[in-house]
Structure 1
Amino acid sequence: MVLKVEYLSVTYAQKTAVNRISFQVKSGQVIGLLGANGAGKSSSIAAVLGIEKSTHDELVIMDKSPLRNRKEIFEQVGVQFQETHFQDKLTVSDACEQWKSLYKKTADVPTLLQTFGLAGKEKQLIKLLSGGERQRLAVLLALIHEPKLVFLDELTTGLDTKARRMLWKHLLAMKADGLAIVLTSHYMDEVEALCDEILILREGQTVFHGTIQEALVASGKTTLEDAYLHFAGEEEQW
C-alpha cells in the first residue's frame, strides 16, 4: 500500500473542513478526489502531506508517517499544486536545476522536457511561457525525482484539448510503471480517462467512494457528470 488514510479530520477554528474520510492508494492506482469548491479536497491533501494539522486513526505513506518521517517521504512523493508561483527571473532550466538539487536521485531532465513538450524552452523565462506550458512544467517538476506517489491538484486547468490528452497519455504510461496518483479535477472526462476509483466530498464528508461504474449504479445516472452532480449536491443548483 502506497498511501493509507483512516478517519482523517481537519478543523479550522470551529469549522470542520474534513470529517473522518478514509481511502487507500496502491501502486499503479489513481484515485480521484472530487467535490465542489470548498468541499475539503485541498485541505485533505494538505493534511495528508503534513502541511495542515489533522486528527486521524492512521496516516501512512509507504508505511511511514508523513509527520514523523518527512525527509524520507519527501524523496518519494511529488506534488503539483493548483497554482505554482515561480520567481520572475527564473528560466525553465533554472527551475529544473533548483528542483533537482532537492533530491538525491532524479530523472533525466532532457527526456522529461521532451516528454512534456518543453524541449527548446530551457532558456525561456517561466513568466513568458503560456499558461499551458507553465502547467506542464509544474507537473514535470512534481515528477522530476521519480516519486512513487504524486498529488495532482487540478491537473489540466487552462490547457487546450491536445495538451490535456498529451498529459493523460504520459501519466497513464507512468501509472502502468507503478506510479500512484491522487488527482483532484473538475473535468469528468479527465476523471474517466485516469481514475480507477473516485471519492466525492460534500462539505468535508465522503458521500461516495468507489469505481466510476459503481457511482453510476448508485446514483441511477447514465453519465459520470450527472452522477457527480448528484452526489456533490450541485444538481439542485440547476
Structure 2
Amino acid sequence: MTDTDQSVIEVEELRRSYSGGFEAVSGISFSVARGEIFALLGTNGAGKTSTVELLEGLAEPTDGRVRIFGLDPYRDRARVRPRTGVMLQEGGFPSDLSVAETVRMWAGVTSRPRPAAEVLELVGLTARSSVRVKQLSGGERRRLDLALALLGRPEVLFLDEPTTGMDPEGRRDTWDLVRALRAQGTTVLLTTHYLEEAEELADRLAILHEGELVLSGTPAEVTATRPSRIRFTLPDGTGPEQLPLSLRAAAEGQRVEIRTDRLQTALAELLRWAEQEGVELAGLDARSASLEEAFLEIAQNRRTGTLGRTPEQDDRTGSDDTMAGTR
C-alpha cells in the first residue's frame, strides 16, 4: 500500500507560513496510496486545515512539494480538480433551495456528474429530496455535503469532519459508504475529531501537533506506542505494595492501575499472584491502549517534552503518578 509508484497523494517537506511569520505547517512528509483511507489527526491549531487546503490546491505552499496524481494541485488545478471531491466542514448552500435543487445546481458545474437520484440514494437522502435545505437537521446537511462531494465520481475524496452532527446510525451509514468507496478504488483523506472514526476507517493515519507530524502508521502501530492498562480494586487489608515487584502500579487508595508493554505476561502474573494469595481483584479490566489514549498522551507529552519516552523512562524520572509496589 505504501509503494511510491502507487501513491496518489505525495507530500514532501511541506511548509505553510502566514503573514507575521507564523508557520502553520512545518516540513511534513507523507504519502497516500491508491484506494487507501488516510486520516490526518491533530488538536485545534495543529495544522490540519492548512495542510488540506494545500492538498486541495486552494493555496500554494511556502516551501516543499505536493503532488496529486503526480500533478501540482495549485498550478495544475484545472487538471486535478475534476478528479477530486471535497467535503468541507460547512457547505453554505442556499437555504431556500430543496435538496434535489441543490444537487442539480451543483451538478451543473461538475464534470461527468452522477444522476441526482443516484447520489441522494448513496447518502440516504432520497426521502428528503423535496425538503428545503434550511429544514434539514445538522446531520442531514452533512449528508448533503457528502452527496455533492461524490457527484463527480472522484478518484480522490477529501473529507473534513464528515460525520459532525450525525446521529449514531447516520455515522455508521457514512462509514459503510466510505468503506464501499475505498473498495471501488477511491482514495480518501479524512480529517476528524472523532478518534473512534479514525480507528474504524483509516488504513493509516498521521498525528499533527503545532504544525509537525509527530507520529504516523496504522492505527494498531500508533496505539502500540503507548502502554496497555490493567485496572482493579484490591480488598481492604491488601495494599498495592504487596503486589509482585515486577508489576508497575499506580494506586489511589485501593484502586490500582498497572501500565505495561507486555499485557499478556503482566496479566498472567497478576492472576497467579491473586490466586496464590487468595485475593479478589474487583472490577478487573485489562485492555490495550485506544487511539484516543495514544492521541491524548502524545498531545500531553508534546507539551511536557516527554514525547517518545518509554514507560520505564517515565518511571525513572518520576513523571507518572505516585508509584507503589516498584523497586
Q: Residue 9 of structure 1 corresponds to which residue in structure 2?
A: 15
2:89 is aligned with 1:22: no
Alignment of 1:146-161 (within 5 A): 146-161=153-168
The answer to whether the 8 A contact 2:157-2:187 is kept is yes
The answer to whether the 8 A contact 2:83-2:154 is kept is yes
In structure 1, which of residues 201, 220, 230 is the aligned counterpart of residue 297 of structure 2?
Answer: 230
The answer to whether the 8 A contact 1:207-1:232 is kept is no
User: 1:40 and 1:58 mapped to 2: Cα distance?
Assistant: 16
**CA shift for structure 1 position 101:** 1.3
Specify every segment of 5 or more residues in structure 1 that has no aligned partner in the other structure, as ranges.
none
2:183 is aligned with 1:176: yes
Give secondary structure in 2 for the equivalent of 1:233.
helix
1:113 to 1:234, Cα distance in 2 relative to 1, 3 A: farther
- Give the TM-score, by structure 2 length: 0.69
Alignment of 1:1-238 (within 5 A): 1-13=7-19, 14-221=21-228, 222-233=289-300
- Give the TM-score, by structure 1 length: 0.94
Give secondary structure in 2 for the equivalent of 1:219.
coil
The answer to whether the 8 A contact 1:9-1:17 is kept is yes
Q: Which amino acid aligns with 2:181?
A: M
**CA shift for structure 1 position 106:** 1.6
Specify every segment of 5 or more residues in structure 2 that has no aligned partner in the other structure, as ranges.
1-6, 229-288, 305-327
User: 1:16 and 1:152 mapped to 2: Cα distance?
Assistant: 24
Give secondary structure in 1 for the equivalent of 2:106.
helix
User: 1:7 and 1:77 mapped to 2: Cα distance?
Assistant: 23
The structure showing larger relative contact order (alpha-carbon pairs under 8 Å, at least 6 residues apart) is 1
The answer to whether the 8 A contact 2:204-2:218 is kept is yes
**CA shift for structure 1 position 211:** 1.0
1:115 to 1:19, Cα distance in 2 relative to 1, 3 A: same
- Which of 1 and 2 has greater Rg? 2
**CA shift for structure 1 position 69:** 1.3
Deviations 1:94-139 (A, max 9, x none): 2111221122312232122122111132221111111111000101
Q: Which amino acid aligns with 1:102?
A: V
- Aligned-residue CA RMSD in angstroms? 1.7
1:235 to 1:40, Cα distance in 2 relative to 1, 3 A: closer
Higher deviation after alignment, 158-167 or 58-67: 58-67
1:128 to 1:21, Cα distance in 2 relative to 1, 3 A: same
State percent identity of aligned pairs.
36
Paired residues in the alignment total: 237
Structure 1 segments of 4+ aligned residues over 4 angstroms from their partners = 234-237
